[in-house]
Structure 1
Amino acid sequence: MQGRSLVKLNDSNPTSHGLAPQVLPTRYLAQPRGQETAREQLAQVIGCPDPSRLYLLSSTSQAYAWLMALLCDPGDAVLAPKPGYPLIKSIAQFSGVNVETYHLRFDGSWTMDVAQIERMLADDAHGDSKIKALIVINPNNPTGQYVKPEERERIVELCRRYDIAIIADEVFFDYALEPFEGNRRFAGERQVLTFALDGFSKRLAAPHAKVGWIEVSGPSQDVEEAQRRLDVIADDFLPMSEFIAERMPDMLAELNTQHDLVQQRISRNLDSLHAMLEADDLGVVNVLRAEGGWNVLLRMPSFIDENDFVTYLINQYGYTGQPGYFFDMESNGYLAISLLPEPEQFDENVRVVLEAVRHFVDEI
C-alpha cells in the first residue's frame, strides 16, 4: 500500500466533499501544531531554526494550560515567581495543578532567589517529586526584571539536575526599559527541556489577534518525547483559526512598525514619570527599576493602605488601579501603572496619583 492514497469511508470533514462555505473555500487540513505555512513564516521572522518545533495556538494563557496538562498529573506542582501576575495560579487551579512560589528580591533592582529555588527542588526530590516545571517570566510582569545571565546558568543547571522543564514566558522580551547587559531569550535553549511562550498580544500590541505560540527546545530525546505527547493535546483542541492563519503574513509585516510605536510610547512615558517624580516637592513616591515590559510599580509611603488609596482614587477622581497585593507583594504601599497611555493621559494619571498621595500625607 506504500505510496497509495486511501479513500476514507469515515471522512466527515465537510470541506473534503465540496461543502465548504464561499468565505472559506479551501479544504481544511487538521494540523495540531498549527498551519504549516503559517509556522514556516513565523519561524523565519522570529529566528526559529525548525518550524516543526513551533505550536500555534490562541494565546499564552492557553499555552500554560496545555503545558500543565503535558507535564503534570493532578496534584503536581509548578514553581512560579512572586511577585507575579495572578494568571498562572488561576490557570493552574483549573488544571488541578498546585503553584509553589519562589521569591524575586528587590535591592535597587530585582533578582531571582535562586538559592530558594534550589532548596525547594532539593526538598521535593527527597519526597514524591511533585514539582514538574519552573516558570520564568522574562521579563517579569509587573516587576519588569529580565533573567540575568548568571541566574539563567544556575536555573538551567538545577532543572537538568532535578529533571524538570522550564516554561519561559517571554511575551514582553522585546520591550526594554532600563535593562542590564547580557539578557537573552530562553527560546532555543538546548541544555534542558524548554517551552518558550510568545505571541502577537505583545509583539504586535494586538491582544485581539489571538495568536500565541510555544517553541520547544532542549535535548533531542526529551524534545521528541514531549512533542509526541503535546501533539495529542494540540490535536484535541485544534485552536488556530483559518481566518487568522491567512492573515499571518500581513501581521508579521507589521511587527517592526508596531514594536517601534510601542517602544517609543513606553520610553517616553517612563522618562516623563521619572521627571514628574523628581519634580514632586513631597518626594515620597518613587518607581522601582523596571528593566523591560509595559508596566511599572510605584512605591508610596507604607502607612497608606492600598485598598483605601484605590478607593479614594475611585471616589475622588473616577480612577482605579491595581494595588501591590494583587501581585503578591509582601508589604504595603505599591501601585502598578501602565506605560501605554497616550502622553497627555499618562501624565494626568501620574498627577492624580501624586495628588492622592499628598492627600493621605496631609491627613497625618
Structure 2
Amino acid sequence: MAKKKKSAYAEAGVDIDVMMNSLKRIGKKVKATNTSGVVSELGSFGGLFKSPGRENLLVSSVDGVGTKLKVAHMANKHNTVGQDLVNHCVNDILVQGAHPLFFLDYLGAAALEPKVFEDVVSGFCKACKENGAALLGGETAEMPGLYPKGEYDLVGTIVGTVERKKLITGKKIRKGDVLIGLPSTGLQTNGYSLARKVIFEKAGKKLSDLVPGTKTTFEKALLAIHKSYLNPVSAVMKKVDIHGMAHITGGGLYDNVPRVLPDNVDARFDRSTWKIPPIFQFIEEAGKVDHEEMYRVFNMGIGYVLMVGKKDVATTLKILKANKQRAIIVGEVVAGSGKSVLIN
C-alpha cells in the first residue's frame, strides 16, 4: 500500500490531521464539562450559552499562566497548567461575587504535540468540572517560527454571573473591618520569571532538588496547582455580607488589595500572623531580593483576602473551617488613602 504523501502544509510545520485527531480524542472530556446552560454542540463556530437572566450581570476576565509554562516544559508535565489557568480566572471573577458560567481557551505552539495538547486540555476539563464551568470553546494555533520548538502559550477567558443586588464592589469596606487571608499553594501563577532566574540560574538548583528545610522538590513546589477559592468563599457569601475581596496575583498584597479599597481607608496587614512558605524564603535569600519587593512580586503565602465586619468574623471563620479552607486573620482596615500597609 502506497504511503500517504505528506501535505505541503504539514511540511511547513502545520499538520491538520494531527490536530483534528487530537480534538476528536479529547471531545468526550470537553463534553463532560457541559452544564445546563450550554446550547451549542462541540465544534460549533461559536459557543452558545443561555442568558442568566435580566437581573444578572455578566462578569468576564482573561489571563494567562505566564512563565510557569517554562517549568512545565522543563518537567515535561502538562496536566496541571490548564487547571492553573481555569482556577486563576475563577478567582478573579469571584472577587465581585460571580460564579463561573463558561471558559474559553487559546493554545498557541510552533507545532502541536498530541500528548501535550491532550494533557493541557484534560487539565482545563478537570478544573472546569470542579468549578461548575463549561469548557465552551477554544482555539489551537500552530505557528512555526513564532514559538520555540516544543513550547506553547496558554490564554483563558472566563464568563460568570452575579445578581446585580449581590455584586461585591468594595464600596462597603470601612474602618474596623477585619482582613481574613486564605493561604496560597505556593507561587500559584505569578513571579515565575524571577523565581526561575534565582532557582535555576543563580542558585543552580535542579527540579529534583529539595527546597531547603522541606521534603518537597522544586518541581512539586513550583508546579503546585493554583487554588480555586470558589467553593469555600461561595459558602461564606450565602451567610455573610462580605464587604470586599481580593485575589492576590502579580503585584502581591501591595497592588491587588487597593484595587477594591475606598480612598479613605488602608488595608493594614500584620506579617507576623502567617508563616512565609519556604519556597519564598529561598528565593529571597538565594536571589538577595529586597524584602519589600518580594511582597510586590509574590503572594507570599496569602492567595485570597476577604474583608468583613467584626461581627461577622466568627461566622466567616466557622464556615471556612466547615468547608476545609484554612483561614487566618491577617490584619484590619484602618483610616488611610486607599493603599496596603504591611507591618512587622
TM-score computed with the length of structure 1 as normaliser: 0.26
TM-score of the pair, normalised by structure 2: 0.27
Greater CA radius of gyration, 1 or 2? Answer: 1
| Bigger relative contact order, structure 1 or 2 (CA pairs below 8 A, ≥6 apart) | 2
